[in-house]
Structure formats: C-alpha cells, structure tokens
Amino acid sequence: MEKSIGIGIIGLGMGQDLLYLNDDPESRFQVRGICSATASKVEAIAKERGIPFWTTEYEELIDRKDIDAIAVYSPDHLHAQQCMDALSADKHVVVTKPMVTALGDAIEITRLAERKNLKFLVGETCRWYTSFLDLRTLYNGGDLGKIILAEAHYVHEIKDFFTKTTWRLTAPQDFMYGGVCHPLDSLVWFLGDVDEVHCYASKGDLSAYPIEDNFILNLKFRSGVMARILGAYGVIQPSKPMMGLTIYGDRGTATATFEDFKPSQLTFVLDKFLQNEPATIDYPADMTGAYGQGDAVRRYMGHFENCIANDKFCLEDAREGTKTIAALSAAWESAKTGESVKVEYEI
C-alpha cells in the first residue's frame, strides 16, 4: 500500500511502538519525523530506523509540510498544548491517554478539532484490548441485556516506574488523569455520560511521590446506572489482574481482564445457557513492543488511518474523550470537598 499519509511522533517512550508503521505494508502511514527532548536518543533512533527528520522542538515537527498527522506520546501534562498546536497547524491528531489533564483544555481541543474538521483520536488502549472488545460484542449482541450496574479497576504498583520515566515524579504525574482514566473511560464506553461522582483519594506513602495515588470512585451515569472504580498505584503489586471491567446485565454478567505481557480473559454467565456456571475465554498476551502497547495500538492506529483516508468518524474523538476528562475533573473536586459533584460542562 502506498505510504501516502505522513505522520510525526512527539515522545519516544511509548511513542516508539508506532515505528512499526514504516515496516507495515498494509498501512498508509509513514513516520516522516520524530521528536524527543533528548537529542542523542532521537538522533540515534532516526538513524537506526531511516527516518528523515528528527528534532528536539516539537514545533519544528508540526510545521513540516510532508507531515499530515501528529501522534502525541509525550508526558501527560504536555498533551494539551501540543495537541492544540498540531490542530492549529491543520494536522490530524492521535494522542495517548490521558487526552489532557484539565477539563478546559479538553473543551478547547474539541472546539478546535470540530471547527477545523480535523480527525482527533484518543488512543485509549482499553477500548482496543481483545478481551474488552469481546465484552463489548456480548453487550452489543444483547447477551447481557439491560445494564444494571458496572465496576472497573486499574491497580498496579507504580514506584518502580519513577526510575524509568522520571517525569512521573518530578512533574508529578497526576494519577487521577494518568491512571483512573483507564477504568473510567471503559465505563463511559458502555454507559455514556457521567452525571455525578463521589471520590476518596489517599497517598500510599511507598515512595517520594508528593500527591494522592489511590482512588475510590462511586458514579451515577445519566442513564441512571451506578458504577464503582478502584484506581490504586501507591500499593504493593496485587495478585489480581491489573485491569478489569465487569458489566452486570439483566440477562448476563461478564468480566474482561487485562495484564501487561500476560494472557487476558473474558469470563461470563449468561441466562440463555440456563446455568450459573461461568464460561471463560483465554487470550494470548495483547501487549508487545518496546513499551508494551502492541496489538491494541495497532488496532486504534488502523482505525485512525481509516478515518483520515476515508473521512470516517473517530470512535473516540475529542468530544467523546471529554466525557472522561469531565468526570475525572469532578472526581478531583469531590476528593477535595468530600461532597458528591455533578459533572457539568458545555462544548
């Protein structure tokens, strides 16, 4: 397939996992430029992979006429400005989670992307894991019936990551946005807009991390469905799978799990089977690549390519992504005030 869509990558941590695009004969994407804060690193990668342009200044990447789309894989707190600058330069944008770390930025990005009629995709991997996709298939097929309630978790020890990605500690990374976004976005995917949220937040004190890193959320969606979330990072690594999503319906209950570099599962009980014994589907590890993104990233990049090439609607565009950011913003307000908070915003 002709390499007709030039893409530039900002951030060469997880962003390295997009370098497969140049070797993929089924993709129109061609990585034509890369950007990282460390000159020696970005230059070495560019030479090794035959990428014609590299820089430490993302504005230089955005300004290139041979680049049609920008992939934002920088530290969380840099996403907003880089996304807005790319859109302002008439580039399509894919951004890794979290979309941004402030509701006002999400609203501004949505307005800008829609005004310019550009494609914007939030690369939220949970919507593209095999087990989560098959849970969605059960739901779409009516096997679970009407949703009664739901729950999700994203739990893993974080302290060892600070030596690998020091910005998490020095910025510091906001784990409400950088962590809880995963389970919350998964629930938004099934249940839509959050109406109200109550949140408790605490600090695990297992490292020098300066702000809260453990969260419990109770949510009410506009549909009336209740849900709960556990997001814990200031903890010792638990034995259960890192991620999980459970949907309780009036015809069945199903749970999808995911774990870095390990097999995932979908477990379900359906009324139509006329028994309460769970059935389980096992999946091979869904994470590969330098930073473990693997197949989920390949799926959403294929979707992003299709949206650009064929003028299709992005499944998680800026407006959809803002639903999650708005709920996370309300959760922080609840944690600070001790009160339930309505999720209110206008685009």
Give the CATH number, domain containing residue 69. 3.40.50.720
State the Cα–Cα distance between residues 343 and 195, nearest whole angstrom.
5
Residue 167 CB coordination number (10 Å): 16
CA proximity to 109, closest of 70, 65, 79, 73: 79
Do the domain assignments include residue 320? no
**Same domain as 82, residue 61:** yes
Residues 284 and 263 in one domain: yes
User: In degrees rounded to 5, what are phi and psi of residue 206?
Assistant: -95, -5
Residue indicated by tokens 């976005």: 185
Please answer whether residues 158 and 287 qualify as being in contact, where contact means their C-beta atoms are separated by less than 8 angstroms. Answer: no
Residues 303, 286 share a domain: no
For the entire predicted model, the pTM comes to 0.96
What is the residue whose two structure tokens read 């979309």? 99
Q: Which residue's structure tokens are 């593209």? A: 128
Residues 86, 71, single domain; the answer is yes
Helix (H) or strand (E) holding 95: strand 92-96
Residues 31 and 53 in one domain: yes
Is 202 found in the same domain as 153? yes
Enclosing domain of residue 17:
5-125+295-313
* pLDDT tens for the chain, residues 1 to 347: 999 999 999 999 999 999 999 999 999 999 999 999 999 999 999 999 999 999 999 999 999 999 999 999 999 999 999 999 999 999 999 999 999 999 999 999 999 999 999 999 999 999 999 999 999 999 999 999 999 999 999 999 988 888 888 899 999 999 999 999 999 999 999 999 999 999 999 999 888 899 999 999 999 999 999 999 999 999 999 988 999 999 999 999 999 999 887 889 999 999 999 888 899 999 987 655 554 457 899 999 999 999 999 999 999 999 999 999 999 999 999 999 999 999 999 99
d(C-alpha 122, C-alpha 92), whole Å = 12
Cis upstream peptide for 238 (omega within 30°): no
**Residue 47: which H helix or E strand, with range?**
helix 39-49
Give domain status of residue 52, yes or no.
yes
Q: Is the dihedral of CA 163, 167, 171, 174 positive or negative?
A: negative
Domains of the chain: total:
2
